[in-house]
Amino acid sequence: MNANWQSKQLDIAYFHYKLARYAMALDICVSILESAPTNPEALYLSAVSRIQLRDYDRGAAELLSVMQNYPDRNLYNEYYENLLQAQRTADSIELFEAWAKQNPDDFLVHLFLGLVRFHSRDLNGASSSFERALELDPSHAPSWSGLAGTRNEQWRFHEAEEYWRKALDLVPDSYVYLHNIAGVLKTRGRADEAELVCRRAIELAPTNSGIQSHRLMNLLCSTATSPEDIFNAHLEWGQQRADSLGIEIRQHANIVSPDRPLRIGYVSGDYRSHPVAFFIQPVLLRHDNSHFEIHLYSNVGRPDFITAQFKKLNCIWHDITHEKDEAVSEMIQQDGIDILVDLAGHTKDNRLLVFARKPAPVQVTWLGYANTTGLTTIDYRITDAVADPPGTTEHLHSEALFRLPRSFITYCSPQHPPEVGSLPAQGNNFITFGAFNAFAKTSEAIFRIWSEILHKVPNSRLMMKLPGGTQTQMRDYIYEIFERFGINRDRIELVEWFPGIMDHLNLFNSVDIALDVYPYNGTTTTCEALFMGVPVISLAGRVHVSRVGATLLEQAGFSELVANTDSEYINKAVELALDLDRLAQIRASLREAILQSPLMDTGGFTRTLESAYRKMWHIWCEKQNGGKNS
């Protein structure tokens, strides 16, 4: 009788769970466990229901208890997926290790041991597990993919591409593997090849917004795609993925009062150790909280110590990582946000489909993405007159351009930075050029330009800092590109990427002149170079993504270092390299100059940004009042 009652109750609980009624499923399981505390099905369903309800501590503890008693290989995937959602994979490593010892010839247990090790950042252990799984079953595509992902995190990009292609050979219609291949191609500076792979992935998954955003981000690095075609691709994304969500747009109940305190919401997945965090945090610290109530909507999948700092700011924190777009939109409306600011564009962990639902009366994109979003529901894109000269790029945006009077961005240096060293060329007797931007922003076109500079500056060197810079395959790949342009490899110094900001800044003390990338200019790296006394040569193009260097140098007082053609870029770099007296003078004075420049006036910038928000709000209020402000 009791067993029969439990069985019927479990059937009802499973029914509720499948309909996403997790609280109802949990209530039934709790009642079953009161009389039968060891019932495995009730305990399992209770655990996964708690995880869906975000009670991660209790849910993960119950799930681990089930796993200890029921090491069922048919449940490995469910165990893993739930622990991954609860961010508790590390807690299961000992269990999977024990199961692997008990079943040394079962490739599946080695696969999942590799996955939990991977997500716990034990990359060497993960690699060993995936390799063992492939020894047992070399035709298992997920194991090849797991090994590829590990190699990618180890910055062994050539192997990552090779292994994802092996997985693709086994599952030719996998858009996931194609997406990953495109990502590693982009990382290796092969954006035009990545575009072809992205197109194939989208053909297989036409409704996958993440893959489409990745393709748009990749296009910003392409030298083969025109700004008009890039804009059309963004517009097409908006039409396909977002326009249909317009039916969800509701009437805004915000009080129509031009000068009342405003609620500003910033949406980002980068409240973590990321360049966007370093640019937005100083602004948040300086916001006038008597006139602006600041809400941070965080989509951070892997919080870190920087995330903890954001939580301590005088802002209202909302974790939206596991919330659906509809729920986030509802939350923003209930919070009464007046101006909602996107800080991601099409970068990873964006929530653009929240903005497509227009939860706030005024919506803005700024900072995190160097192009249009393609969304007609975003009203403004914040920029300036150098990055987007008036009358030149309006037709390439779905948003109206709101130009700040100076720069669209401000830079704040870290505390206790390294001192600026003496000019390296004075001790080396040769010029060292530096290229420290993300390698994904490079291309053979910029390598050709850099090679021309090296040819024209005798005995000069180029120092490049990049992930995987000490890996043999990556080094040979870069050396071979320069050798095709007549530059011997002994003139190229490749330095491994390292995360420490002080070590990174100190490396600029080994560089005489920094070379900006094109078509995707650097931002953080350019600011850091200038702060460390290193002049930057930048090539300006037609659109924002290739004019960031121009606006940064304008604000720093060095607009003469901006070139408008390839030959001008080469000549400016060569002329500066051959004038050691000028280089030494710049070295000695640049830090103080940039400290006093508009680029580092974070307080003044914040007041300007707030004025922009107020102007946007006034415009909205006028529209609500039929063109008459009150």
The domains of the chain are located at 1-70, 260-404, 424-600
Q: Would you give the DSSP letter of residue 363?
A: E
pLDDT digits (tens, 9 = 90+) for 427-437: 999 999 999 99
Q: Which CATH superfamily is domain 424-600 in?
A: Glycogen Phosphorylase B; (3.40.50.2000)
Sign of the dihedral through C-alpha 606, 522, 236, 176: negative
pLDDT band at 499 (very low <50, low <70, confident <90, very high): confident
pLDDT value at 127 more than 70: yes
pLDDT value at 1 more than 50: no
Average pLDDT over residues 409-425: 96
Please tell me the number of Cα atoms within 13 Å of 479 on its side-chain side: 14
Query: What integer best gives the mean pLDDT of the chain?
Result: 95
pLDDT value at 90 more than 70: yes
Please tell me the number of Cα atoms within 13 Å of 193 on its side-chain side: 15
- Give dist(CA 508, CA 433) in Å, integer: 10
pLDDT digits (tens, 9 = 90+) for 343-364: 999 999 999 999 999 999 999 9
Q: Could you please state the CATH topology (level 3) that the domain comprising 260-404 is classified under.
A: Rossmann fold (3.40.50)
- Give dist(CA 252, CA 438) in Å, integer: 41
Of the listed ranges 141-145, 447-451, 573-577, 622-626, the one predicted with least confidence: 622-626
pLDDT digits (tens, 9 = 90+) for 246-300: 777 888 999 999 999 999 999 999 999 999 999 999 999 999 999 999 999 999 9
Same fold, 1-70 and 424-600: no
Packed helices 524-531 and 548-556: angle between N→C axes, nearest 10 degrees:
30
pLDDT value at 479 more than 80: yes
Q: Would you give the DSSP letter of residue 464?
A: E
Q: Give the number of other Cβ atoms within 10 Å of residue 317's Cβ.
A: 15
pLDDT band at 498 (very low <50, low <70, confident <90, very high): confident
* pLDDT value at residue 2: 74
pLDDT value at 226 more than 70: yes
Which residue is listed with tokens 């009652």? Answer: 5
Residue burial 567-597, b: 16+ Cβ < 10 Å; e: rest:
eebbbbbbebbeeeeebeebbeebbebbeeb
Among 102, 105, 82, residue whose Cα is nearest residue 92: 82
Element (H, E) at 545: none
Q: Could you please state the CATH topology (level 3) that the domain comprising 1-70 is classified under.
A: 1.25.40
pLDDT band at 6 (very low <50, low <70, confident <90, very high): confident
**468's torsion region: left (phi>0), alpha (psi -120 to 50) or beta?**
left
* DSSP string covering 47-73: HHHHHHTT-HHHHHHHHHHHHHH---G
pLDDT digits (tens, 9 = 90+) for 350-409: 999 999 999 999 999 999 999 999 999 999 999 999 999 999 999 999 999 999 999 999
Of the listed ranges 31-35, 92-96, 145-149, 519-523, the one predicted with least confidence: 31-35
pLDDT value at 243 more than 90: no
pLDDT value at 630 more than 70: no
Strand 262-268 to 461-466 pairing:
unpaired
pLDDT band at 627 (very low <50, low <70, confident <90, very high): low
* pLDDT value at residue 333: 96
- Give dist(CA 113, CA 23) in Å, integer: 31
pLDDT value at 605 more than 50: yes
Q: Give the number of other Cβ atoms within 10 Å of residue 349's Cβ.
A: 18
- Give dist(CA 240, CA 588) in Å, integer: 53
